[in-house]
């Protein structure tokens, strides 16, 4: 797999990650603007785009995350196009999550107190023509500067890329996850239990249009849609199930 590692000069966590990745001899494509405000035409062609990034939240909780970018609604205030999602590689996202969790639980890193989780689709860029993912240190300036946090993600990234490059990973069903909160706890747990390769994730609060449902099912390889049955409103469950059934798309409660 040909991949491009991308770092933003405006992002302190991104620069921290870049320093560690380059220390291992990997090259990084540097950009001057925010990663979320970029688009496909600004990058060399690649089979996978991996953004080294910060994660910000009001809670400031120490968190390491991985997710694919995309806008599920007309709101594109954080970059990208309205109602557009970038392609997703569920194997990369899941192996990255598992490796981050593995390193995070090691004695030398455990005392940092980071959580490891997926995030649902949000923010740009959305027009990439190949799978993409953000790997992030969060959730405040204090964590963005921590070298050990960057080391966890760097080691995880190297392990993940090596596994994919050498086809050293098990065959498992690939799924798309619908429902739940922003950090997708149900699907994070399923991935960490190594039950599935989890790709696209959408939250309870998103009202997914037919346009988005079509993109979800055409821009990622998957075996079935996993529905967090308790993590959706009833009217949305009915709408999504009707769409899947009408289009012969396999789905399961999880």
Which pLDDT score, from 0 to 100, does residue 26 have? 98
Q: Would you say residue 155 has pLDDT above 90?
A: yes
Identify whether the C-beta of residue 85 lies closer than 8 Å to the C-beta of residue 214: no
How does strand 4-8 pair with strand 29-31?
parallel
From the number of C-beta atoms within 10 Å of its C-beta (0-12, 13-18, 19+), residue 248 rates as exposed
Between the alpha carbon of residue 39 and those of residues 12, 81, 120, 135, 202, the distances in Å are 21, 9, 20, 18, 22
Domain ranges for the chain: 3-253
Q: Would you say residue 145 has pLDDT above 90?
A: yes
Q: Which of 232, 182, 196, 209 is nearest to 67 (CA)?
A: 182
User: How confident is the model over 71-77, as a mean pLDDT?
Assistant: 97
Q: How confident is the model at residue 125 (pLDDT cuts 50, 70, 90)?
A: very high
CATH architecture of structural domain 3-253: 3-Layer(aba) Sandwich (3.40)
């Amino acid at each position: 797999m040909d991949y491009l590692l991308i770092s933003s000069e405006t992002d302190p966590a991104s620069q921290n990650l870049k320093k560690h990745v380059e220390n291992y001899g990997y090259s990084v494509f540097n950009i001057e603007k925010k990663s979320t405000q970029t688009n496909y035409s600004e990058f060399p062609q690649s089979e996978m785009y991996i953004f080294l990034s910060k994660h910000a939240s009001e809670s400031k909780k120490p968190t390491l995350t991985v997710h694919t970018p995309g806008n599920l609604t007309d709101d594109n205030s954080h970059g990208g196009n309205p109602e557009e999602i970038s392609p997703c590689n569920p194997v990369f996202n899941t192996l990255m999550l598992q490796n981050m969790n593995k390193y995070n639980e090691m004695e030398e890193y455990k005392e940092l107190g980071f959580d490891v989780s997926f995030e649902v689709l949000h923010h740009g860029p959305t027009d990439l023509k190949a799978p993409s993912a953000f790997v992030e240190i969060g959730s405040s300036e204090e964590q963005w500067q921590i070298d050990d946090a960057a080391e966890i993600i760097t080691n995880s990234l190297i392990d993940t890329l090596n596994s994919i490059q050498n086809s050293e990973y098990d065959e498992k069903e690939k799924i798309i996850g619908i429902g739940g909160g922003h950090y997708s706890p149900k699907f994070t747990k399923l991935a960490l239990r190594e039950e599935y390769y989890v790709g696209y994730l959408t939250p309870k609060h998103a009202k997914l249009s037919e346009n988005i449902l079509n993109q979800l099912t055409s821009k990622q390889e998957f075996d079935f849609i996993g529905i967090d049955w308790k993590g959706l409103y009833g009217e949305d469950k009915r709408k999504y199930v009707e769409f899947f059934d009408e289009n012969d798309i396999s789905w399961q409660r999880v």
